[in-house]
Structure 1
Amino acid sequence: MEHVMERTGTTAAYKVKMLVMTALFIALGYVATTVLMVPSPTGGYMNLGDTVVLLGAYLLGPVYGAVAGGAGPALADLLGGYGIYVPATLVIKALMGLTAAVLYQALHKKGWALVVCGVVAEAIMVVGYALFDGFLAGNLAVGLTGIPSNLVQAAFGLAASTLLALALRKSSYVRKQFPRL
């Protein structure tokens, strides 16, 4: 019985740890998204949030990474006056996190996989917002005008998350705390 309780306690402790880390990444995603909001031509804005979305995916894995990746930036939209974007941001950023995490695990956590996963996830962001902006405007051509600014955001998020993940992987403490990295 003690062995079962010990395993249950470990499982419960792991779940609490992951919930706390998810909440932390939601907060980090919110801050990274709001610290620099550069308006884009379609009515949205460029930001630094993709860095945290991708990093959270690599550290937390698919489920927790997707929740954090979607919730933090969606909260930034809600509180930043971009309420119309909340549903799209929630779905797009969650899909980014989910895709990056699943693909990263499938590619066996190789260093080069961070770039591949980031490119695929950022493609989801660029296409997702182009389609959503086109839907809002009632004209896909209008949605396509946001692609250049979203590509800039994607490039920064990809580069910053890759460099941070590579640096964090060098720490045995981080690898122990976040074995998915």
Structure 2
Amino acid sequence: MTGKNIRKLVLAALLAALTAVATMIIRIPTPTQGYIHLGDGMVLICGILLGPGLGALAAGIGSMMADLIGGYMAWVPGTFAIKALTALLGGWLYHRMAGKGMNTITRVVLCGIPAEIVMVLGYFVYEVGMEVVMGSSMGAAAAAVVLGVPMNIVQGIAGIIVGAVLLPVLSHASAEMGEKIRA
């Protein structure tokens, strides 16, 4: 394994851990039994710093670990898939915008909006599916779950803001880490 591969693996593990911590450290409870957190910012950063593939894996694992540790067992598989897809799309879009003359904050916002839409829609579909599996009709499940959509939108907006603020700091730290490994 080369030094560059080791650096990427270490960075992926670190970002997965930071994603879990950001998800768990500040939890604002919602009326729908969920919570708003800052982890979505780290999900976007995973996709941006690591690229869509490895970033998706780190974001999915970190977010899933927060649910696992926090006792949200029913959400673990859905969270892994939804946050991985969020990071995948966000990272892919961010890198596609390279060289288009946009600053970092603009790129984070423009990649974050569709990525967070994936998060909102993903949780809606997952929650409806859980309700149907527990015996609700599709219509009743959708009606019940739609109440959580505004809270997920707020979480997505918070994630975009956190990502835009933290990306320059973590990009700098990531670059310094690479220089120290090469030395």
Distance in 2 between residues matched to 1:131 and 1:143, nearest whole Å: 9
Equivalent in the alignment of 1:142? 144
Equivalent in the alignment of 1:122? 116
Equivalent in the alignment of 1:113? 107
Distance in 2 between residues matched to 1:72 and 1:167, nearest whole Å: 20
Deviation string 1:72-99 (CA, Å, 9 cap, x unpaired) is: 0101101101010001100000001111
Structure 2 residues without counterparts, runs of 5 or longer: 133-140
- Which of the numbers 86, 89, 98 marks the counterpart of 1:96? 86
Sequence identity percentage: 37
In 2, are the aligned partners of 1:44 and 1:82 still within 8 Å (CA)? no
Structure 1 residues without counterparts, runs of 5 or longer: 1-10
Distance in 1 between residues matched to 2:47 and 2:109, nearest whole Å: 13
Equivalent in the alignment of 1:165? 167
Alignment of 1:28-47 (within 5 A): 28-47=18-37
Q: Secondary structure at the match of 1:146?
A: helix
2:127 alignment partner AA: D
Distance in 1 between residues matched to 2:59 and 2:66, nearest whole Å: 12
Backbone CA RMSD of aligned residues: 2.2
Using the TM superposition, give the Cα deviation of residue 49 of structure 1 relative to its aligned residue in structure 2, in angstroms: 0.4
Answer yes or no: is 1:154 the counterpart of 2:144.
no
Distance in 2 between residues matched to 1:151 and 1:68, nearest whole Å: 22
In 1, are the aligned partners of 2:11 and 2:174 still within 8 Å (CA)? no
**TM-score using structure 2 length:** 0.83
Equivalent in the alignment of 2:67? 77
2:59 alignment partner AA: G
Deviation string 1:39-65 (CA, Å, 9 cap, x unpaired) is: 333332211100111112111111221
Distance in 1 between residues matched to 2:177 and 2:10, nearest whole Å: 17
Deviation string 1:92-120 (CA, Å, 9 cap, x unpaired) is: 00001111111111111632221110001
**TM-score using structure 1 length:** 0.83
Using the TM superposition, give the Cα deviation of residue 32 of structure 1 relative to its aligned residue in structure 2, in angstroms: 0.5
